[in-house]
């Protein structure tokens, strides 16, 4: 199972061990030593799972947890906390942390918990491609943490394209799937995609003479 993992840990030896162990599992991993560093990383791309140490030189990992859950709610956050920080553990779970691992931890346990988090995400009703996130349960879409206002057909069209990312979808297939009919003269599909593009969703690639491809980048 593929996935992108962010690690916020100021101890470089621990961060290096985690990164090595996750990359050995064919996972993409980036390590950050401070809150400012991971904030900069989040601006570039959001991860699937974030491992967050609580005690950091420039603040608390709980601050990052709050920031991530507000901007990127589908990201699974696993807190790393030393024994004796029971209060921080409870606070983190109450703030939306998905899991908790006490230090010192075994590498095999950490890797297993990351895989479990990725499996839970795969079975959810949330689709995430880069910084674009669609939630079928709440009928909501966010781009870089910013909510977008879509009508019902725009939402259905985006959802279908995201679920079939990197596949060339014909105009007829899209019209049949979303609108229930085929009309070679209508500009309905093009107008909806144009509006989605204006919102900042630039993944749509026009395949001339065929239809569209929704690129993962």
* pLDDT tens column, 2-19: 789 999 999 999 999 999
Residue 20: pLDDT band (50, 70, 90) is very high
pLDDT in tens, 71-125: 777 789 999 987 566 677 788 888 889 999 988 889 999 999 999 998 887 766 8
Q: Name the one residue in this structure whose structure tokens are 């601006």.
A: 43
Cβ within 8 Å of residue 123, ≥6 positions away: none
Q: Is the pTM of this model over 0.75?
A: no
Mean pLDDT estimate for the chain: 89
* SS3 per-residue string spanning the chain: CCCEEEEECCCHHHHHHHHHHHHCCCCEEEEECCHHHHHHHHHHCCCCEEEEECEECCEEHHHHHHHHHHHCCCCEEEEEEECCCHHHHHHHHHCCCCEEEEECCCHHHHHHHHHHHHHHHHCCCEEEECCEEEECCCCEEEECCEEECCCHHHHHHHHHHHHCCCCEEEHHHHHHHHHCCCCCCCCHHHHHHHHHHHCCCCCEEEECCCEEEECCC
b/e per residue 150-168 (b: at least 16 CB within 10 A): beeebbebbbebbeeeeee
Domains observed in the chain = 4-124 (3.40.50.2300), 127-214 (1.10.10.10)
């Amino acid at each position: 199972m593929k996935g992108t993992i962010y690690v916020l840990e100021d101890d470089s030896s621990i961060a290096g061990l985690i990164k090595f162990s996750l990359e050995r599992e064919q996972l993409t991993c980036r390590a950050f030593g401070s809150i400012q560093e991971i904030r900069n990383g989040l601006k570039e791309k959001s991860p699937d799972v974030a491992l967050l140490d609580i005690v950091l030189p420039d603040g608390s990992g709980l601050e990052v947890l709050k920031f991530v859950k507000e901007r990127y709610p589908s990201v699974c956050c696993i807190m790393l906390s030393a024994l004796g920080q029971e209060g921080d553990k409870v606070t983190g779970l109450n703030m939306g942390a998905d899991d908790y691992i006490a230090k010192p931890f075994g590498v095999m346990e950490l890797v297993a918990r990351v895989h479990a988090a990725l499996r839970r995400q795969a079975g959810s009703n949330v689709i995430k491609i880069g910084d674009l996130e669609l939630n079928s349960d709440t009928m909501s879409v966010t781009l870089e943490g910013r909510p977008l206002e879509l009508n019902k057909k725009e939402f259905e069209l985006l959802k279908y394209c995201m679920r079939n990312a990197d596949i060339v979808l014909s105009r007829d297939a899209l019209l049949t799937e979303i609108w229930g009919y085929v009309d070679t003269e209508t500009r309905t599909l093009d107008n909806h995609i144009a509006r989605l593009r204006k919102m900042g969703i630039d993944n749509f690639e026009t395949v001339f003479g065929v239809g569209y491809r929704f690129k993962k980048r």
